[in-house]
Structure 1
């Protein structure tokens, strides 16, 4: 038996993975984790290289009043110039290419997720990395976690937009980038996950959690393979030696919670003062403000850069109480001044720094009063780190997890949980906002506000449609009835001979009049419904629509009809909004 025609061969092809499928999203989160991991590594090397370029050392903060070996003739006075030179470089860069890269970065990511569908411009990653590295390397007293969150988030957002994901999945990849950045920067994968879920996404969903974990683990593995498996800060181990320490940790939590709120208030008060004082071009502001920052560094060089060596020495008991208090106040001022003059860097590490100084000072006081039951001062410093961050950011889970990952000491968990929960509670009692949300509230953005409350505060002009063709007061009933038959509207506006709004006529009134045999004009059927101005809040419009009005007329100040709001106009606007 022979075949009369050759049979076509069946070609086997691999199934195509769609980006929005479960497998596609897992693959994308893996890619984001890889990008965030390498981005964090590159960012750390940039900071180290620029710090060495400006100071002659990999980390200048813990060295005291020493000269730059490359310009030894200048002595310790070189720190007056480094913030100015750095500001001359990153000021124009931020102003020209990505102004959202200014500041500490996390609020910009939060508002992108809460209001903009997670969309972040791709150039933000590169500009933020270079500007923050220049700022920190040049003496800016800020942290590297804010920049890496914004860098990782920008990478995730850019990839999601490239493959055309919807808003929900764009936000998810933004959180993956933030988690990967934190995990790789601090060698703390759990902290990266909880930071992204608690602060960036602000919700807990099983699918989101799995993808964020995958991205965080991937970034952490990459960072560990290159930077080593050591935590970003080496801390000694401590034990809780007496039950009487727990009430003391609760007291520390109260003080730390108030300190966290003060941290936020001082940060924005100094930023306001800088805004008020500066009258020149914005691109020159970091260099001009660098004069003040340089003067502070000359007096207190421990404020140079992030300051991890100083933090470690304080936890180990290397400073006296008076100097610890000076370092605490100095960090508050130096970090706030760096942000206020237009610098770029995070506030997470400065809050940990302030917490360590507060806790170490508190622990030394306790130890001097009750040396046998008070315990080690270093334990209070560790707990203070998490408690001040919890008071400033009101993110207790992240605060507990990151301190646990830093120490690896389970014995610190109970006092840490106690102090952090007390600090977060005190912060909530005395302040509505956090160090992250306060920046947004000052712009009129409340990301904690319910969606229906935001809708009710929006003006009518955001939802109004063009008014339908108006009736005239002398139109006869049959022509008006014909109009209603073709429009489908339940009400139509009526204007007078000058074109000004008079009122509305309902379809059922016209139907009743025509059925009764009336043949006069429409004037006697006009309902003199009060119009609203274009800036009237939607709460008023919704109240009138819910009361039974088919439409709410919008008039300008001259009485001319300018808009028309119905339930369907509101729904149409909401469904078209991003």
Structure 2
């Protein structure tokens, strides 16, 4: 828990610095706090160029961050989240520590110079890299490092968006891909810490300042289900266009990779010259759309423009996230849908902004297929609790549509294109579906609870396990005693007064029908080389399990996935009782 707090504090500070870097580079490259809201004005420091400066801003930034990423952290290129997902699933949470600095600088330069990407991917990678480095510094096992990486991601999301609930759900749903109680507690603690640090500097306000929205009639739920279908499909289209454009850039570029962002920046600058609303993240434009300041044609133009601008930014080697662009795309699609509905049913429909707000969550659900995160993050970004029910309905529909239209999400498709299938990795794990009784070993000779420490030390040395079970005079199981505990006690002044029962500890309960994956987790923290196994009721000792026995599992599985042989051991019958 101490590490979770430290990681949350570090992620919160990282989010503050990252947002400051984005603001600073935006001022430098555009002369405005957010150029997307200026309508294409000239740079105040370069008035002679007029709006043409945006043609060169991405080029100059690319000349800086292109070599930086290529030389020090190639994994900092792109939108970041897939790299963290891969590190958690396949690399034991190991992320190079330099990613923290390189990703922050590269993404801030990219966004500040006009890159049409978001900041959630970078802050996830920044917080995760910091957590990974800290976890490995204190030499934690891989299972713990994975959780810490999720803590760093949650803290980064929570601090940068002032979203302490969305952070944990993003990390659990997309990175860890489960909601284990122990992991969830650490991730929430990190998120809370990061939020406190972030709010102390950035303030405590919702990210989007919107008027209160609500539905006019219950019949609108039917329209919102249709909205979920439409915007869910738009999210899938965004995913496919993103990678098609990236493929096209890969095909067209034949020069050195470090130069690619600068040369491609000319294309991005040309697009920004025509459609300056695509500059950077574009939250002011999104808010104007929800506020009803754009007509239908402009909404469609902004929708298409964002898909192209984000895809081009990633394709030329830019660094930034796709979470914010998916929200932007959803807002444009939803508001456009609402405009059409308002024309057809003017007296029975809500303002178009309601549909745009719900479309934000539906688009993210369609692209990332993370419905829980989509609901929570929309609530926290907007503070609009009144639309939570229709939001949930539209998000569920969008998720189902996305699953029907596409096998992958916007994050997992990047990994599949590299030959990494996260779902296959989970189901083809040699330990998946196996239980402890398939690798049972004979139970070592238990120690009697009244055994003196000298005799116990002798038996532990002969056993070779470093830990032995302890039974009472009535044969009841009292726990285990480790060689380390006996050795430490023998060095004390009261060693002659102690017996084994005084040192016995209850290790994690492992039953014969428990999954092997649970046994591995228990063995990671065991004091010796094995642990006792009890029957299904947890009352009788039936055997012993070791790391060596588990290592034989892959050799006993055929290519078809069926076991070639089973190792059946004769169980030992020792009762258990006292806990």
Kept after mapping to 1: 8 A contact 2:52/2:273:
yes
Alignment of 1:251 onto 2:239:
no
Match of 1:187 in 2: 162
Tell me, yes or no, if the aligned pair for 1:235 and 1:406 is still in contact at 8 Å: no
Counterpart of 2:54 in structure 1 is 79
CA–CA separation in structure 1 for the residues paired with 2:260 and 2:558:
45
Kindly tell me: are residues 455 and 49 of structure 1, through their superposed partners in 2, closer, same or farther at Cα, counting changes over 3 Å? same
Question: Matched residues in 1 for 2:336 and 2:230: separation?
Answer: 12
Alignment pair present for 1:389 and 2:390: no
Q: Which residue does 1:357 correspond to in 2? A: 332
Task: Provide Cα deviations, 1:109-167, integer angstroms capped at 9, x if missing partner.
Answer: 00000000001010001000000000000110000000000000001101000000001
Cα–Cα, structure 1 residues 540 and 217, in superposed 2: closer, same or farther, change >3 Å? closer
- Note closer, same or farther for the CA distance 1:451–1:380 as it changes in structure 2 (3 Å cut): closer
In the alignment, which residue of structure 2 is the partner of 1:159?
134
Counterpart residue number, 1:332: 307
Displacement after TM superposition at 1:544 (Å): 11
Question: Corresponding residue for 1:177?
Answer: 152
Distance 1:385 1:62 in 2: 20
Q: 1:51 aligns with which of 16, 19, 26?
A: 26
Are residues 545 and 103 of structure 1, via their aligned partners in 2, closer, same or farther at CA, if it must alter by over 3 Å?
closer
Q: Is the 8 A contact 1:237 1:407 kept in 2?
A: no
- Whether 2:264 is the aligned partner of 1:289: answer yes
Q: What's 2:210 paired with?
A: 235
2:94 aligned with 1:93 = no
* Structure 1 portions without partners, runs of 5+: 1-25, 457-536, 551-578
Could you tell me which residue of structure 2 aligns to residue 380 of structure 1?
Answer: 355
**Structure 2 Cα separation of the partners of residues 294 and 202 of structure 1:** 38
Is the 8 Å Cα contact of residues 558 and 564 (structure 2) preserved in structure 1? Answer: no
Q: Is 2:121 the counterpart of 1:150?
A: no
Separation in 2, partners of 1:223, 1:444: 38
Larger radius of gyration: 1
The alpha carbon displacement at 1:236 in A equals: 2.1
Whole-angstrom CA distance in 2 between matches of 1:231 and 1:93: 34
Question: TM-score scaled by structure 2?
Answer: 0.75
CA distance in 2 between partners of 1:428 and 1:268 (Å):
18
Secondary structure at the aligned position of 2:102 is classed as: helix
Partner of 2:243: 268
| 1:377-435 deviation digits (Å, cap 9, x = unpaired) | 11100000000000000000000001111222221011000000000000001111000
Q: TM-score, normalised by structure 1?
A: 0.75
SS in 2 for 1:449: helix
Alignment partners' CA distance in 1, 2:85 and 2:210: 31
**Distance in 2 (alpha carbons) for counterparts of 1:408 and 1:546:** 53
Counterpart of 1:206?
181
Match of 1:345 in 2: 320
The two structures, once aligned, show a CA RMSD in angstroms of 1.9
Whole-angstrom distance in 2 between the partners of 1:57 and 1:422? 39
Deviation at 1:454, TM superposition (A): 5.9
Question: Contact 1:88–1:287 at 8 Å: present in 2 too?
Answer: yes
Matches within 5 A, 1:29-68: 29-68=4-43
CA drift of 1:241 comes to: 1.1
DSSP-derived class of the 2:422 partner: coil
